[in-house]
Structure 1
Amino acid sequence: MQFATRLDNVETSAIRELFKLLGKPGIISFAGGFPDSAMFDVEGLKEASAKALAEEPGGALQYGATEGYEPLRAQLSAFMKGKGVEVAPDGLIVTTGSQQALDLLGKTLISPGDKVIVEGPTFLATIQCFRLYGAQLISAPIDAEGVQVDRLEQLIVEHKPKFVYLIPTFGNPSGAMLSLERRKKVLELAVKHDTVIVEDDPYGDLYFGKAPPPSILSLTKEVPGSRERVVHCGSLSKVLSPGLRIGWMIAPPELLAKATMCKQFSDAHTSTFAQATAAQYLKSGRMPDTLAHVRKVYAERAAAMGAALKRELGDAISFTQPGGGLFFWARLTGAKGKLADANVLAQRAIEKGVAFVPGAPFFAEKPDLATLRLSFATANVEKIEEGIARLGAAL
């Protein structure tokens, strides 16, 4: 078969390929980016789905508006208000996970050859999605405080990108949190250089101690002229259930209109039953307790992983302890003759019964082969300690 030439620029996800190797009995996996299914509020979701069917079965089971189920849009508006963002229900559209929001951005904004700035490293699916539409991706370096804004400005001036894509709060894979000062600077750059900023925020509610700085979208009220240059993508996947496939996009009206048109061509609308269930769940008031529980469990697991990495790998690895999210981003130092190539370590680790994701695929350009991503979300403390011990033995 002769496939579309756009497929020439993309490859199968390295993470998906890795999962083919995880059938070995007894393997401990730190590879996935999934929330722990034991954290799902099953009873709350049962009640929500039952109420959705009891109160408005037609709305839950029938075709719906492409923009989203109106009661859910109202609940998401209230949810965002609780995070400092004033947005009317018609100022957002519901997407099939935040992944679809990225696809809609590709469809509406990217023409072949357009330049897009992303973080280095960034979400692997973002790299694949934007390249599918022909984008030339430019990497902006990051550190523990997120994207380095001075370098970002240089890249904006040099490349004049269609937009800049950031995961500012507990990024995937970096776990980095963009500081308040840098968030404001990003908005100032957006206005100064008339550049669109895409804020992807699936992890912002998963903080372990002190809450993170306000979202970039929330801070637009402090930087005149910046609101119309910011697109915000949110998701319930990491905090409630990925199976619902509920995400949303907040954007200027003209972009929402184009995105809605493209979504209509793709899937007509996100599952109305899933939307009605999510609306009832948010309305129930159970989300704060659910988030508190999830934060507590993940905080314990992150602390255990950090301690185990220091104990078992010592100066052979460097990392910053994450303050939230699902991931550790680490780098092999090669100290005392230990391995400095994460791809080689990944193969050895599988043999020892533990899995992680090498960091190279998360870079749009100039991959760092010494980096790796470890997720603590789906393993309990005992499994984390055993898995990191196995990783140390593989090193």
Structure 2
Amino acid sequence: MLTGIIEQVDPAKWKLAPHVTELEASIIREILKITTRPGVISFAGGLPAPELFPIETVKELAAYVLDTYGAAAMQYSLSAGITPLRELLAERATGRGTASRTENILITAGAQQGIELLGRAFIAPGDYVLVENPTYLGALQVFNYYRAQYCVVEMDDEGMLIDQVEKQLETYHPKLIYTVSNFQNPTGITMSVERRKALIEIAGRYNVPIIDDNPYGELQFSDERIPTLKSIGGDEVVALRTFSKLVSPGFRVGWMNGPTEVIEQFEKVKQCVDLHANTFAQYLMLEFIKQGYLEPHVEKIRADYKAKRDTMLAALAEYFPPEITWTRPEGGMFIWLRLPSKLSAKELLNKAVERQVAYVYGEPFYPLGGGEHTMRLNYSNATHETIREGIKRLGDLFKAELAG
């Protein structure tokens, strides 16, 4: 006998754990629901440009993978990931200045799962985590789930302020340092080479590991490659990487690069989570790299995002009031804005949506509060025309509010 759909559940029966009931939905995901409305220009989500997805290439590679690997591409696999892909990623990292072996690589379901594995493996309730202020919201969600406490470090145009790092390490003894060192989400700031070296030296002195979340590192607009924290710091650093920003977020394929003994522990934790990452997608990414598609594809993305960044910066200069300032990222997907104290980015969002344009206000990126007068804009998932029109709408709104 079929039963009806239950609209409400009895909380006395479904006794969720406190750390689950205390979870808050991602504000970005909530704002993205608004952006599905017809006509809304969205600068909210950190979405890759869909017109750049290599759909025809993936069609060809999907057939090749099935013809070449057969049932293996559709079967359960190793928790650490398929060996050929791990070997290739280790070889690629070594060729780019980060000496790596297969045993250093763990395939994850995107870089976000890497953060989740770190939370499970490292954080007990009450442990401190050192983060940039502001920092990536998805990391804060994970750390909040495991009931971490925060010590925060402010940034300037060169990244973390190193004197603050040392003070926080000495005061709070955090379990780990979490940073997005390249084209940071949400600010677009990149840590300078000098700061990277100083951070590694101080972290080593205080015996605290560094987690470098680096999904945007290859989206650098200049040809001068910045040495990664991992390439400088070696075993002091666990690097999180992903193909989500380079090829497709739908594949959910990322990886961790860390000391062998640490990776072995993460592998055991991953077995508890999902057994292994998507096998078929791993083989697709293996062949995407082996057959020479990745590098030219990334070059195409870099050129596209650089042009869109330039369009947004020009539109900001043309349409925004002079009281508002913003970053000038040299890569990645985001521009960070600071508003005058008279304007609250959160309070103005509804008025912006009335004008058919959306952004993410800054407060959720600050783990200890603050950021009322900040906001994030994404330029990758828009056209040049919608960038100019959306920025004009926002500029008109902000000018009207400042004049009122």
2:118 paired with 1:105 = yes
Query: Of the candidates 179, 190, 195, which is equivalent to residue 182 of structure 1?
Result: 195
2:376 aligned with 1:373, yes or no?
yes
What is the aligned partner in structure 2 of residue 259 from structure 1?
266
- Is 1:271 matched up with 2:274? no
Quote the residue 1:350 is aligned against: 353
1:149 shift after superposition: 1.1
Equivalence for 1:223? none
TM-score by length of 2: 0.93
Q: Does 2:375 align with 1:362? A: no
Count of aligned pairs: 385
Post-superposition offset of 1:153: 1.1
Question: Are the aligned partners of 2:80 and 2:267 in contact in 1 as well (CA < 8 Å)?
Answer: yes
Q: Indicate the RMSD between aligned Cα atoms, in angstroms.
A: 1.2
How far apart, CA to CA, are the structure 2 residues paired with 1:148 and 1:280? Answer: 41
Aligned ranges 1:177-256 → 2 under 5 Å:
177-220=190-233, 227-256=234-263
Q: Which secondary structure does the structure 1 equivalent of 2:287 belong to?
A: helix
2:303 matched residue in structure 1: 296
**Which amino acid letter does the alignment assign opposite residue 45 of structure 2?**
G
1:384 aligns with 2:387: yes
CA deviations on 1:51-70 (whole Å, 9 max, x unpaired) are 21111113211110001011
Is the contact made by 2:321 and 2:395 (CA closer than 8 Å) also made in structure 1?
A: no
Give CA-to-partner distance per residue, 1:82-122, whole Å, 9 cap, x none: 32111111211100101111000001110111000111111
Identical residues among aligned pairs (%):
37
Contact preservation (8 Å) 1:352, 1:393: no
Pair 1:57 & 2:70 matched = yes
**Aligned: 1:96 with 2:109:** yes
Amino acid at match of 1:228: D
Q: Tell me the TM-score normalized by structure 1.
A: 0.95
Contact 1:108 1:255 in 2 (8 A): no
Distance 2:328 2:116 in 1: 31
Gaps of 5+ in 2: 1-13, 399-404
Could you tell me how far 1:8 is from its partner in structure 2? 4.7
Task: Quote the residue 2:46 is aligned against.
Answer: 33
How far does residue 145 in structure 1 lie from its aligned partner after superposition?
A: 1.2
Distance in 2 of aligned mates of 1:326 and 1:211 = 18
| Inter-partner Cα distance in structure 2 for 1:274 and 1:76 | 15
Structure 1 or 2, whichever has the larger Rg, is 2
Q: What amino acid does structure 1 have at the position aligned with 2:197? A: K
User: What amino acid is the match of 1:237?
Assistant: S
Give unpaired runs (5+ residues) of structure 1. Answer: 221-226
Corresponding residue for residue 90 of structure 2: 77
- The alignment partner of 1:73 has SS state of helix
Q: Which digits, 9 at most, give the CA deviation of each residue in 1:132-174, with x for residues without a partner?
A: 0111122211122111111111111111000000000001111
Separation of aligned partners in 2, 1:370 and 1:275: 42
Distance (whole Å) between structure 2 residues aligned to residue 100 and residue 115 of structure 1: 20
Kept after mapping to 2: 8 A contact 1:145/1:177 = yes
* TM-aligned CA distance change 1:149 to 1:82, over 3 Å: same
The alignment partner of 2:212 has SS state of: strand
